[in-house]
Chains A and B, each alone.
Chain A
Amino acid sequence: AQKVTQAQTEISVVEKEDVTLDCVYETRDTTYYLFWYKQPPSGELVFLIRRNSFDEQNEISGRYSWNFQKSTSSFNFTITASQVVDSAVYFCALSEVPYSTGANNLFFGTGTRLTVIP
């Protein structure tokens, strides 16, 4: 069965520090997708990134970067030079998309609450 583990329940950093949020996943499928979502205090879920299992290239988007390592089943998220606006709960999720249906069911981790202190 698929599983997503975010071992860090809460993290606090001082503004401008770098922070890495860990995500470890389990799946028996060879084809799958990994996601990160941000949930700010306002409550909505904001899509950050989607990565398929065949693409292990690291990705950088501004201050955000993601490190995908199939060898360790990890998909870690780093925020560089954190800002107060980064304070949110961050969710890692896994999707095993059946070829027959295309159902994009997401299995979420329990989330990491990041607090950036000014």
Chain B
Amino acid sequence: NAGVTQTPKFQVLKTGQSMTLQCAQDMNHEYMSWYRQDPGMGLRLIHYSVGAGITDQGEVPNGYNVSRSTTEDFPLRLLSAAPSQTSVYFCASSTLGGAGYFGPGTRLLVL
């Protein structure tokens, strides 16, 4: 099992560009989520999904979109990148109510 995978590992964007961060899991987990990690602030929830076709907002959803067309994939879209979105992004998955398993992270720099 690969667990939770994320691509790319590192990305540089210019302000205003859009991009999609990919997340996939092979554990058949219903729950998937995206977090961002900023210095001194821990991890904060952006969006989450409790199953294919079901998504909801977390603590910091502005500027991000998600969709969940399959159980395995949960991409995060940046609509128009801003320097404030410079961060490390983590995807996580779990069974409903279970312990979360995190991907390796994507480091994003917006210039």
- The residues of A with any CB-CB pair to B shorter than 8 Å are 4, 33, 35, 37, 43-45, 47, 50, 91, 93, 97, 101-111
- The residues of B with any CB-CB pair to A shorter than 8 Å are 30-31, 33, 35, 40-45, 48, 50, 56, 58, 88, 90, 92, 94, 96-102, 104-105
* Separation of A47 and B94 alpha carbons in the complex (Å): 12
Q: Provide 21 A-B residue pairs closer than 8 Å at the C-beta atoms, listed in order of the A residue.
A: A4-B42, A43-B88, A44-B105, A45-B102, A47-B99, A47-B100, A50-B98, A97-B96, A101-B50, A101-B96, A102-B96, A104-B31, A104-B96, A104-B98, A105-B48, A106-B35, A108-B35, A108-B43, A109-B42, A110-B40, A110-B41
Among B42, B50, B88, the most chain A Cβ lie within 10 Å of the Cβ of B42
* Separation of A70 and B31 alpha carbons in the complex (Å): 27
- A49's nearest neighbour on chain B, judged by CB, is B99
* Separation of A35 and B102 alpha carbons in the complex (Å): 13
Given A43-B88, A43-B104, are A105 and B45 neighbors across the interface (CB < 8 Å)?
yes
Chain B contact residues, majority secondary structure: strand
* Separation of A98 and B33 alpha carbons in the complex (Å): 15
* Separation of A105 and B56 alpha carbons in the complex (Å): 11
Q: Which residues of A contact B96 (CB under 8 A)?
A: 97, 101-104
* Separation of A64 and B46 alpha carbons in the complex (Å): 31
Among A4, A33, A102, the most chain B Cβ lie within 10 Å of the Cβ of A102
Q: Which residues of B contact A45 (CB under 8 A)?
A: 43, 90, 102, 105
Q: Which residues of B contact A107 (CB under 8 A)?
A: 45
Residue contact A44 to B102, C-beta cutoff 8 Å = yes
Residue contact A104 to B44, C-beta cutoff 8 Å = no
* Separation of A91 and B90 alpha carbons in the complex (Å): 14
Residue contact B97 to A35, C-beta cutoff 8 Å = no
Residue contact B97 to A104, C-beta cutoff 8 Å = yes
